[in-house]
Amino acid sequence: MKKTLAVLLLLAAALSATSEARAQASLSDANRDFPRWEVRGGVGWFSLFDFVGALGTGFGSIDFGTNDDNGITTRREGWNALLNPNLDLYYNLTPRFSVGVSATVGHISSKLVYVTGGSGVRKSSSFTYPSLLVGLKWLYARLEDNLWSIYGTAGVGASLMCVKNVDTAGEVNNTTQFSPMVNFYPLGVSFGTTRGLFAEVGFGARGVINMGGFFSF
């Protein structure tokens, strides 16, 4: 009886060791076979710096078109779409964690054109801020045979603030300065395995909403 029990215990131990080895091998294969690189391109809408730039180009340095003391009437024109194209490159350390770099360009411009009392542009202002950040992307869950992914991203870096003002005398004033920048998008959803579409919400250089496409290799 004791010998039989010992044999059964040895068999159980052997089966357990075999199962553990197979599980480790399966995990190793999964970690080895998943795509290592991911490229993401998108367009974000309305970042914090878009708001600051809108104040500077639309409400601050440039007045709304009204009559002045000399009887000159102006009309405000500009491109304030508040859209920020962005491009990311991630390296997948594991199936759940990735590191990478993110580049974003934001631009807002505005000008006052003569309605009466002159012709052409009376004065103009533009605000451009390219940003470069390093960051982390993490996976919360995969759904429906890995077609849907729920994830988050965060990053830190800097933006180059470029402001150009042209006054009524035609004099150009350019100012540039670096500013720290943070991206934090705690909720993102993507559809697709090695290529597909994504949407994410948060705050940073991209805007409060960012949407686009991706592919992995």
Judged against a pLDDT cut of 80, whether residue 189 lies above it is answered with: yes
Residue with tokens 């909720």: 187
Mean pLDDT of 119-142: 87
- The CA radius of gyration of the chain, in Å to the nearest whole number, is 28
- pTM for this entry: 0.71
Q: Using one digit for the tens of pLDDT, what is the confidence trace for 13-68?
A: 554 445 444 544 444 444 456 789 999 999 998 887 766 666 655 544 444 445 55
Indicate the helix (H) or strand (E) that contains 31: helix 2-33
- Phi and psi for 48 in degrees, rounded to 5? -60, -40
Cα–Cα distance for residue pair 196/217, rounded to 1 Å: 13
Parallel/antiparallel/unpaired status of strands 97-116 and 73-79: antiparallel
Q: What is the pLDDT of residue 4?
A: 55
Q: Using one digit for the tens of pLDDT, what is the confidence trace for 87-116?
A: 999 999 999 999 999 999 988 777 777 666
Say yes or no: domain 36-216 is CATH 2.40.160.20: yes
89, 37 Cβ separation under 8 angstroms: yes
Lowest mean pLDDT among 4-8, 108-112, 170-174: 4-8
Cα torsion at 47, 52, 53, 58 (round to 10°)? Answer: 120
Q: Using one digit for the tens of pLDDT, what is the confidence trace for 155-170?
A: 999 999 888 888 777 7
Q: What is the pLDDT of residue 29?
A: 46
